[in-house]
Structure formats: structure tokens, C-alpha cells
């Protein structure tokens, strides 16, 4: 003889884990797809904005000044001098991406520059650079050319330098940088993944049982409605948690690849076991709350389809709350923010990911989530008792 809550939990877990399709779509796919997608996106983005180191840009120059030619030669940049009459042909080539940029200097550039003073009312000598933003090579060549011209300009009017020595001026540690990036992205991603995990199982388990008439079979047994509600919430929370772990693992493994171009410091090695434990506790309490909320909405619905549609507004709310992590400067320190359901999760996650954990706030967040879950379970029990809700057609 067993506790009815455990009996219901066992049934729900067997139902899930013996269904290969469910295991693959809810547990394996999210993590695997996120890992592959982010890794692929990271590689694609890196390829999009990177040009092979050995590539020699094709730069055509009209009226190539001696001074620029000298600086270019010293910098290892090859410039091809062309006649002004060839400009239109060069623009055509630029359009077809046969060349990378085309630069037009005034005919007497060097003398015009040396004669020009900023006090004069005349317009400064103008250099025109034609380029093609649809080509990464053209964009790179454009940057190279403007840097070269800046260097030339600096040699003439250099009055002071900024950060010219080899010292390290950015005082942010690599750990802080990683924390900043993870804390702005992970809370939003985790909220979405956790919600998706809950949404993929709760409507099926609650509204699906209503739709198929199997919940009525349970309700004519001596089981208490509260045991049924709690058993379902716990079992669904375990599955949703596993789905969340799958998605989180996929994200943590692939995020450094996705952000690879942005920083070499993007690694999860900075996080200690205690950070992961805290994160796990926050996620668990959040999953319990989300499962309860989705179960309540699903109990109102007559079909799985109706339940899924009804849950959508909640999904939007969760996403918007998740997005708030991308704004602001770190986690809130005021304790009352940690009483706001779901928002408290985001704030707790920001604190954990940015290495600025305030234990009392995490505790308030977890305890309040558990209290909200308890209230939700009570509401769900009342709903299971309502013939109008359970037997509505």
C-alpha cells in the first residue's frame, strides 16, 4: 500500500518515460537542438564577419597620393592606382564584388592637405570611398582604409594620445565580463526554456485527461482531490525540471560558441558548485510555480488545444519578465522585489550569474515561490472538486 500522491506521481512518470516520443521531444531535443542551433549560429556569425588573414583586399585608388602609398606600403596594404576615367567601370566591379573598395582622392591631395587650416572658412579636402556593405571583404577593406587615413591624419595634427602604452586599461576581470554577459542573457533564456518544458507536458496531463475522460475515472476512486493535484504537480515538475536541465546544458555548452566573437572570456568555468546548487534550487521552485499556473489554466480548458492557446498570454508575460534581465545594472538588492512571482526568479538568476548573490533574497524568492505553489495547489484542488469545471463539455 502506498501514498496516493506517490501512486499518482509514479503513474505520471511511467506514462512519460515509457513514451519514447515524449522523452525525445521533451528531454533530448531541446538541449540537442539548442546546442546545435547556437553552435551553428556562432560559426555562421563568425564566418560572416571574419575575412581570411591571408586575403589581400582589392583596393582601386584614383589620384593615389605619394603619402598614402607610402603608409600603405609600410602597412602591407596593396593599392591599385587607376585613372579617373576608369571610375565607373570600377563601381560596376564593386557592385559585382569583383573589387572590394574604390577610393577617390582630390588630384592635389597632399598639397591641399598641407595648405588647409581648420581656421579657414574653406571646405576640407574630401576623400570618397565607395564600398559594398553586402560583402564582408568590402566592409573589412573599408575599415582598413579609414584606419589608414586616420593614421595619416593623426601624424599631421597629433597633439595627444589615448591608452598608447601596452598597459591593461580595462579594469574588468574576465570573470566579471563573463558574469555580465551570462547574467544579461541566461535569465531570459532559462525562463523561456523552463516555460516551454512545462507547457509541453502540463496541458496534456491535465486538459488531456479531461478531454479523454480519464480524470473522471480517477475522481470516482477514494483518492483525495488534493492528493491528485499535488501528485500531478510534483510529477510534472520533475519532468519539466529535466527538460529545463536539458535546455540549460545545451545553452551553457553552446553560448560560448555563440558569443565566441565577442569575448574569449565566455566560459562557465568561473561558476562554482554552490552557484549551480543555488541556481538549481531557484529553478526547481520556479518550475513548481510554473507547472501549477499552467495546470490551473489547463484545468479550465476542455481540450489540450484550448489549454495550449489559453497558456499563451502567460508565456508572453514570462518572456517579458525574462527580457527585463537585459536591462538595468545587476540584480535588485531590495528584498520586496523577491516577493514578485517569476520576477523574483529573474532577479535571483541575475544575482547568481553576476556573482553577486544575496542569500536572503534567494531564500525569500524560493520560499515565496513555494508558498505561491501551495496556494496554486489549493486552487487546483478546489477546481478538481468543481463539477462545472471538471465535467464541462
Given strand 101-104, what is the order of strands in its sheet? 79-82, 59-62, 101-104, 128-131
Nearer to other proteins, 215 or 291 (CB): 215
Query: Closest approach of Cβ 13 to other proteins, in Å?
Result: 12
Site membership for other proteins, residue 1 (CB under 8 A): yes
Please report the DSSP string for 353-375 in residue order. Answer: HTT---HHHHHHHHHHHHHHHHH
Query: Closest approach of Cβ 206 to other proteins, in Å?
Result: 13
103 by Cβ neighbours in 10 Å (0-12 / 13-18 / 19+) ranks as: buried
Nearer to other proteins, 16 or 131 (CB): 16
Name which of residues 215 to 274 contact other proteins (CB under 8 A): 216-224
Site membership for other proteins, residue 48 (CB under 8 A): no
Site string for other proteins, 191-210 (x = CB under 8 A): ------------------x-
**Under rule CB under 8 A, how many of the chain's residues touch other proteins?**
24
Q: How far apart are CA 368 and CA 245, in angstroms?
A: 22
Beta bridge partners of 380: none
b/e sequence 57-69, b meaning 16+ C-beta within 10 Å: bbbbbbbbbeebe
Query: Closest approach of Cβ 14 to other proteins, in Å?
Result: 8
Distances (CA, A) of 373 to 193, 229, 279, 340, 347: 19, 11, 18, 13, 19
Beta bridge partners of 81: 61
State which of residues 11, 91, 175, 382 lies at the interface with other proteins (CB under 8 A): 11
Site membership for other proteins, residue 24 (CB under 8 A): no
Site membership for other proteins, residue 25 (CB under 8 A): no
Q: Within a 10 A sphere around the Cβ of 115, how many other Cβ atoms? A: 11
Beta bridge partners of 131: 101
Site membership for other proteins, residue 391 (CB under 8 A): yes
Nearer to other proteins, 14 or 95 (CB): 14
Q: How far apart are CA 240 and CA 205, in angstroms?
A: 12
| 165: CB partners within 8 A, 6+ apart | none
Nearer to other proteins, 11 or 93 (CB): 11
Query: Closest approach of Cβ 209 to other proteins, in Å?
Result: 8
Nearer to other proteins, 14 or 24 (CB): 14
Site membership for other proteins, residue 21 (CB under 8 A): no
Q: Which residues form the interface with other proteins (CB under 8 A)?
A: 1-2, 4, 7, 11, 14-15, 18-19, 209, 212-214, 216-224, 387, 391
Amino acid at each position: 500500500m502506498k501514498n496516493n500522491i506517490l501512486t499518482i506521481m509514479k503513474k505520471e512518470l511511467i506514462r512519460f518515460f515509457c513514451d519514447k516520443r515524449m522523452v525525445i521531444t521533451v528531454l533530448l531535443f531541446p538541449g540537442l537542438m539548442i546546442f546545435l542551433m547556437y553552435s551553428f549560429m556562432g560559426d555562421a556569425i563568425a564566418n560572416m564577419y571574419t575575412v581570411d588573414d591571408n586575403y589581400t583586399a582589392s583596393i582601386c585608388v584614383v589620384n593615389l597620393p605619394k603619402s598614402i602609398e607610402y603608409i600603405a606600403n609600410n602597412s602591407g596594404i596593396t593599392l591599385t592606382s587607376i585613372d579617373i576615367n576608369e571610375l565607373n567601370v570600377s563601381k560596376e566591379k564593386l557592385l559585382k564584388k569583383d573589387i572590394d573598395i574604390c577610393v577617390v582622392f582630390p588630384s592635389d591631395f597632399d598639397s591641399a592637405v598641407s595648405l588647409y587650416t581648420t581656421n579657414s572658412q574653406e571646405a576640407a579636402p574630401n576623400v570618397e570611398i565607395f564600398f559594398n556593405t553586402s560583402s564582408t571583404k568590402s566592409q573589412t577593406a573599408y575599415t582598413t582604409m579609414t584606419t589608414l587615413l586616420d593614421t595619416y591624419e593623426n601624424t599631421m595634427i597629433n597633439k595627444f594620445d589615448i591608452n598608447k602604452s601596452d598597459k591593461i586599461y580595462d579594469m574588468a576581470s574576465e570573470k566579471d565580463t563573463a558574469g555580465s554577459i551570462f547574467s544579461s542573457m541566461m535569465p531570459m533564456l532559462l525562463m523561456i526554456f523552463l516555460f516551454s518544458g512545462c507547457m509541453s507536458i502540463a496541458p496534456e496531463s491535465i486538459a488531456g485527461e479531461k478531454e479523454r475522460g480519464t480524470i473522471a475515472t480517477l475522481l470516482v476512486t477514494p483518492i483525495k482531490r488534493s492528493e491528485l493535484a499535488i501528485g500531478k504537480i510534483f510529477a510534472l515538475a520533475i519532468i519539466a525540471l529535466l527538460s529545463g536541465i536539458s535546455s540549460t546544458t545545451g545553452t551553457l555548452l553552446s553560448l560560448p560558441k555563440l558569443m565566441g566573437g565577442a569575448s574569449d572570456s565566455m566560459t562557465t568555468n568561473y561558476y562554482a558548485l554552490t552557484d549551480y546548487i543555488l541556481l538549481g534550487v531557484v529553478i526547481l521552485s520556479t518550475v513548481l510555480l510554473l507547472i501549477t499556473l499552467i495546470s490551473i489554466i489547463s484545468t479550465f480548458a476542455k481540450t489540450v488545444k484550448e489549454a495550449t492557446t489559453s497558456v499563451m498570454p502567460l508565456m508572453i508575460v514570462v518572456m517579458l519578465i525574462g527580457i527585463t534581465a537585459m536591462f538595468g545594472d545587476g540584480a535588485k538588492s531590495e528584498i520586496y522585489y523577491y516577493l514578485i512571482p517569476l520576477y523574483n526568479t529573474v532577479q535571483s538568476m541575475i544575482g547568481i550569474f553576476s556573482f553577486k548573490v544575496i542569500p536572503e533574497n534567494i531564500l525569500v524568492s524560493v520560499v515565496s515561490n513555494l508558498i505561491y505553489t501551495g496556494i496554486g495547489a489549493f486552487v487546483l484542488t478546489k477546481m478538481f472538486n468543481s463539477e462545472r469545471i471538471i465535467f464541462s463539455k
